[in-house]
Structure 1
């Protein structure tokens, strides 16, 4: 299954994964130390391949494993979006772009949770894709 087939699957969990990665790219390193902390966590949560190749502790692996549920992932993204929106109130920066993409990611995971769609991750990122999702 290719990239476009995954988007045609209407699985909001996949949409949320890609939006989360876009928000990771939108973080401005000069103004967002917190954004980089979020980006570090998101790399391991959203890219399954990283947890296989990077040496991590069992404690960190257990932390990442907690986010297999769409509701927990959505809550994590909502908290991150709120932090980014609050940081734009304190200091006018370019953090509005990652805040918006984090909010869109939350919405996608919330829809996936409400539709009771199982979590799927893109094959391009080392995940299972939607082939194995029932």
Structure 2
């Protein structure tokens, strides 16, 4: 299935997965960009944003759990985030944390908060509509991970 065919399925979990990848890229970039400030609170939220990007990477690209040397407890924790509702909750919490970064003053971390919240909404809509989670083949879902074992 090509990327165009995946988007044509109208499955919100596919949209959520791609929004998640965009969130990961944005969280990484904004985490690095905002870490070099003099405001301590903004530095803390930047570090949290940076850590979130790596968590998202392992959530959205399941192939990495097989090829990266991680601990068994980390793998078990990431594998728990497999349903649409769990992914919506995870992204919702990460988005809420970034929304709280406004308390230290406005910064570009608001963009990460918006995209994380949009990702949570996509996964929530997939859960509410009863759509099963479908991983994008482009990102290592459905059979790609088994091909390398």
Normalised by the length of structure 1, the TM-score is 0.91
Instruction: Quote how far apart the aligned CAs of 1:96 are.
Output: 1.3
Cα contact 1:26–1:98 (8 A) shared by 2 = yes
User: Aligned equivalents of 1:39 and 1:26: distance in 2?
Assistant: 8
Normalised by the length of structure 2, the TM-score is 0.82
Query: SS where residue 142 of structure 2 aligns?
Result: coil
Which 5+ residue runs of structure 2 have no aligned equivalent? Answer: 35-45, 144-149
- When Rg is computed on C-alpha atoms for both structures, the one with the higher figure is 2
Instruction: Quote how far apart the aligned CAs of 1:38 are.
Output: 0.5
Which 5+ residue runs of structure 1 have no aligned equivalent? Answer: 130-134
Q: Where does residue 60 of structure 1 map in the other structure? A: 74
Q: Which has the higher helix share?
A: 2
RMSD of aligned alpha carbons: 1.2
Instruction: Quote how far apart the aligned CAs of 1:89 are.
Output: 3.0
Q: Which stretch shifts more, 4-13 or 87-96?
A: 87-96
Higher relative contact order (CA 8 A, sep 6+): 1
Instruction: Quote how far apart the aligned CAs of 1:66 are.
Output: 0.5
Q: Which runs of 4+ in 1 moved over 6 A?
A: none
Query: SS where residue 10 of structure 1 aligns?
Result: coil
Q: Where does residue 33 of structure 2 map in the other structure? A: 30
Count matched residues. 129
